[in-house]
Amino acid sequence: MEKVYLTKLAPNCGCAAKVGPGTLAGVLCGLPKFQDTNLLVGTETSDDAAVYRISDELAMIQTLDFFTPVADDPYDFGQIAAANALSDVYAMGGEPKTALNIVAFPKNMDTAILGEIMKGGADKVMEAGAVLAGGHTIQDDTPKYGLSVTGFVHPDKFWKNYGAQTGDRLILTKPLGTGIVNTAIKADMVSEEAREATLKSMKTLNRYARDVLKRHTVHACTDVTGFGLGGHGTEMADGSKKTLVIDTKALPILPDVEEYASMGLIPGGAYRNREFAAKSGYISTAELWREDLVFDPQTSGGLLAAVPADEAEEILLELSESALSCAMIGEVTDRENHALEIR
């Protein structure tokens, strides 16, 4: 297999390549509105996946996610892309069942590389307990990979990205900084410690955090991906009609992120995420690099959950026992004139 540095083939890596949330919202608002009493979650609340009721006991979760390379190693890229796509089902409290490959691959690139990408994805689907049942491929100058995933959940028990209540505590189940570290990787300025920690985090399924959270009360949940903690937090705040207070000194952070952020290695998506949050309003007293981190686009990030205060410590303990880099990062308050307060 020829040696190729996949991240050099794309101007933006992973979820940092997503269309900005403000631009996307402007496009979606012009689409027709679909009415179906069995469609429990559609596009209206910018949630992580669609939920469609099949019976009184069963609902189907549908999602898809694909992106450009976020790792140079093809097998790593496949694992990360699959973990990221599966995450949407976990963010709804569901169980993935089937997955389909989504592939774009250059005409003249060694197909052994494609085989390794798809093997990485297949292994991660297998770890999730789902089945890979097919897919679709096209030729493209820039490699892209991801999955369309279908999962199951009880129609009365799935999580939404809104519903947070005043007094809830905010728990994040993975460290932040993947966008900043991946920018440092593209600039050939990353440490091996930061690279390895970031790869490990991005390849970790949110299945294990979901398993812990399902044993407790969850008022709202979303996964933190391309719109960053700030963008996804804004959606949770607006949907819940609350304000999220984020303690940046409590955030779990990947190695060397402060150094890279202070050097200006901030992906362009962070600025689009900041602009989106500004429309709903945010105030910040945090250091600039910490504020940048809040808006850093994450690839295969953790779950952000709003949980009752009296259950938060037990949830953190159980997450820690599962070897997850989790933290209590803030709280939910009555709605102010802004969606986010960043301290």
**pLDDT tens-digit profile of 271-321?**
999 999 999 999 999 999 999 999 999 999 999 999 999 999 999 999 999
269: nearest Cα among 5, 23, 103, 82:
23
Distance CA 28, CA 191 (A): 40
Token pair belonging to 20:
């900005």
Q: Consult the annotation and say whether 65 binds a ligand.
A: yes
- CATH number assigned to the domain with residue range 6-25+32-153, chosen from the 4 options 3.30.1330.10, 1.20.1050.40, 1.10.10.10, 3.30.450.40: 3.30.1330.10
* Catalytic member of 13, 15, 221, 326: 15
Q: Which two tokens stand for residue 311?
A: 């259950």
Low-confidence spans in the chain with pLDDT less than 70? 1-2, 11-22, 24-25, 29, 45, 47-48
pLDDT of 161: 93
pTM value is: 0.91
Residue-level pLDDT at 17: 63
13 catalytic per annotation:
no
Q: Contact 297/270 with Cβ under 8 angstroms?
A: yes
Establish whether 46 is an annotated binding residue.
yes
188 labeled binding residue: no
CATH code of domain 169-342: 3.90.650.10
- The pLDDT score that the predictor gives to residue 37 is 92
Q: Which helix (H) or strand (E) holds 244?
A: strand 242-246
Q: Is 198 annotated as a binding residue?
A: no
**For the chain, what are the domain ranges?**
6-25+32-153, 169-342
129 is in an annotated binding site: no
In a 10 Å sphere around its CB, with 0-12 CB exposed, 13-18 middle and 19+ buried, how is residue 2 labelled?
A: exposed
